[in-house]
């Protein structure tokens, strides 16, 4: 066995695996057995089914104990072409399976994961993106990514930068959930999850009076601001849409996501807006909306909209409005909320009581 030990890994069945500059070895019966000869072994992980995930000078190797499990097409899926980024040709630095069963790939072009058999690349990904050398899961299930440009945390479908522009030497977590980072010249860093993070104008919000918050199905976060416009969070800062973008009334009080992924925006004084593909379409009394103040929006099970306004309840179907007032049995025309239950019953909250 080579004298240069590069990595050690003890599997759940009690076997010690040793990576060296000259191959992969298994310690069995007080002796070492050669499993992969003539290869520099840089990392060893274990998957949920007990397979070894090995990064070597020969590339990525998955072992079920003794046999190599092939991964045809993986390089093409990860857009890794030998020799284009790394002189040695080895552009896959880490393969890791988290406790939920998701397989992650740290590559010279960034971070990717396998979801339902398909490869999903985290942006930015490509020749100009920072390479990812290691993925780490702490005891709380947070995923941390060690990049050539610093430390990141996986947040939904994005990477949250936590310690940019530092060189990392070691990563470890303690029993209290602290993550400890050994750096190259910057000392020892400790990371703790903060229970509260406050976002303000300093983070790109137009003002500090958010009226409504919506998490869309694609994972994006949208905020309606009190006479400040519609903001979306990119993982680091907020971008705001307002009058210059076609949102003629920026007093956003209500947000809802339609069946097709479109965003419905209710405003105080400007009526209703549909936002899709970067464009706003306004609906006011000209189109049949009973009032310019929209207090609530519910997307019905059939995809239609129920809209609470200052002058009655409106049902929007295929762009057409059917309006209800006290003449139809409402206790008050000042409708403040609307809700559809699992039995398709519409509940309407007014300034004088609740009605179904």
pLDDT in tens, 266-296: 999 999 999 999 999 999 999 999 999 998 8
> Are 181 and 163 a contacting pair, CB within 8 Å?
yes
CA distance 49 to 97: 10
Q: How confident is the model at residue 49 (pLDDT cuts 50, 70, 90)?
A: very high
pLDDT at 298 over 80: yes
pLDDT, one tens digit per residue, over 144-175 is 899 888 888 887 777 888 777 888 877 777 66
Same domain, 218 and 83: no
Q: How many domains does the chain have?
A: 3
Q: Is 295 within 8 Å of 309 (Cβ atoms)?
A: yes
Residue 219 buriedness (CB in 10 A; 0-12 / 13-18 / 19+): exposed
For residue 215, give every residue at least 6 positions away whose Cβ sits within 8 Å of its Cβ, in sequence order, or none.
Answer: 221, 222
CB 192 within 8 A of CB 162: no
Same domain, yes or no: 247 and 349? yes
Q: Are residues 145 and 257 in the same domain?
A: no
Q: Which of 160, 179, 196 is the last residue of a domain?
A: 196
pTM: 0.55
Question: Long-range pairs for 308-316 at CB < 8 Å and ≥24 separation?
Answer: 308/335, 308/336, 308/337, 308/338, 308/348, 308/349, 309/335, 310/334, 310/335, 313/338, 313/348, 314/288, 314/289, 314/290, 316/272, 316/283
Provide, rounded to the nearest whole percent, the portion of the chain with pLDDT above 70. 93
- Contact indicator for 329, 355 with CB cutoff of 8 Å: yes
317 and 176 assigned to the same domain:
no
What CA–CA distance (Å, rounded) separates 207 from 187? 37
Residues 244 and 306 in one domain: yes
For residues 231 and 349, membership in a common domain is answered with yes
**If you average pLDDT over residues 198-208, what whole number do you get?**
84
Which of 144, 178, 196 corresponds to the end of one domain? 196
* Domain match, 267 and 343 both: yes
Say if residue 335 is in the same domain as residue 214: yes
CATH of the domain at 332: 2.130.10.10
Q: Classify 341 as helix, strand or coil.
A: coil
Residue 74 backbone phi and psi in degrees, to 5: -65, -40
- Shared domain for 214 and 331, answered yes or no, is yes
Among 124, 55, 119, smallest CA distance to 90 is for 55
Same domain, 333 and 279: yes
The half-sphere exposure of 98 on its side-chain side, counting CA atoms within 13 A, is 20
What are 82-140's pLDDT values in tens digits? 544 343 446 899 999 999 999 999 999 999 999 888 899 988 888 777 889 999 988 87
Q: Which domain holds residue 5?
A: 1-70
Residue 45 pLDDT class (50, 70, 90 cuts): very high
Give the chain's length: 356
One domain, residues 34 and 96 = no
CA 126 to chain centre: 19
Measured CA to CA in angstroms, residue 316 lies from 68, 295, 328 at distances of 59, 15, 17
Last residue of a domain, one of 196, 226, 261: 196
């Amino acid at each position: 066995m080579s004298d240069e030990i590069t990595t050690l890994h003890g599997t759940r069945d009690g076997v010690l695996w040793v990576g060296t500059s000259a191959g992969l070895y298994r310690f069995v019966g007080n002796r070492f057995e050669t499993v992969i000869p003539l290869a520099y072994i840089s990392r060893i992980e274990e998957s949920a089914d007990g397979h070894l995930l090995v990064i070597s000078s020969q590339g990525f190797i998955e072992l079920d104990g003794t046999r190599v499990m092939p991964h045809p097409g993986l390089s093409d899926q990860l857009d890794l072409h030998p020799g284009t980024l790394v002189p040695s040709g080895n552009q896959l630095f880490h393969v890791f399976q988290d406790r939920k069963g998701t397989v992650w790939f740290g590559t010279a072009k960034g971070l990717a994961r396998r979801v339902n058999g398909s490869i999903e690349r985290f942006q930015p990904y490509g020749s100009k993106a920072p390479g990812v050398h290691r993925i780490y899961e702490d005891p709380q299930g947070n995923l941390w990514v060690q990049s050539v440009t610093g430390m990141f945390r996986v947040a939904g479908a994005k990477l949250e930068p936590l310690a940019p522009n530092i060189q990392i030497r070691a990563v470890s977590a303690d029993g209290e959930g602290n993550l400890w980072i050994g750096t190259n010249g910057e000392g020892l860093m400790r990371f703790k999850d903060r229970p509260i993070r406050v976002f303000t104008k300093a983070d790109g919000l137009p003002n500090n009076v958010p009226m409504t918050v919506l998490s869309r199905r694609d994972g994006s976060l949208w905020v309606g601001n009190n006479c400040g416009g519609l903001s979306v969070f990119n993982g680091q800062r907020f971008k705001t849409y307002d009058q210059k973008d076609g949102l003629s009334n920026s007093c956003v009080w209500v947000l809802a996501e339609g069946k097709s992924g479109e965003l419905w925006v209710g405003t105080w004084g400007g009526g209703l807006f549909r936002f899709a593909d970067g464009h706003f379409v306004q609906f006011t009394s000209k189109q049949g909306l009973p009032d310019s103040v929209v207090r609530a929006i519910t997307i019905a099970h059939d995809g239609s909209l129920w809209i609470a306004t200052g002058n009655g309840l409106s049902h929007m179907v295929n762009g057409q409005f059917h309006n209800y007032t006290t003449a139809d049995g409402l206790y008050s025309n000042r409708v403040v909320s609307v809700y559809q239950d699992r039995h398709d019953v519409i509940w309407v909250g007014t300034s004088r009581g609740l009605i179904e």
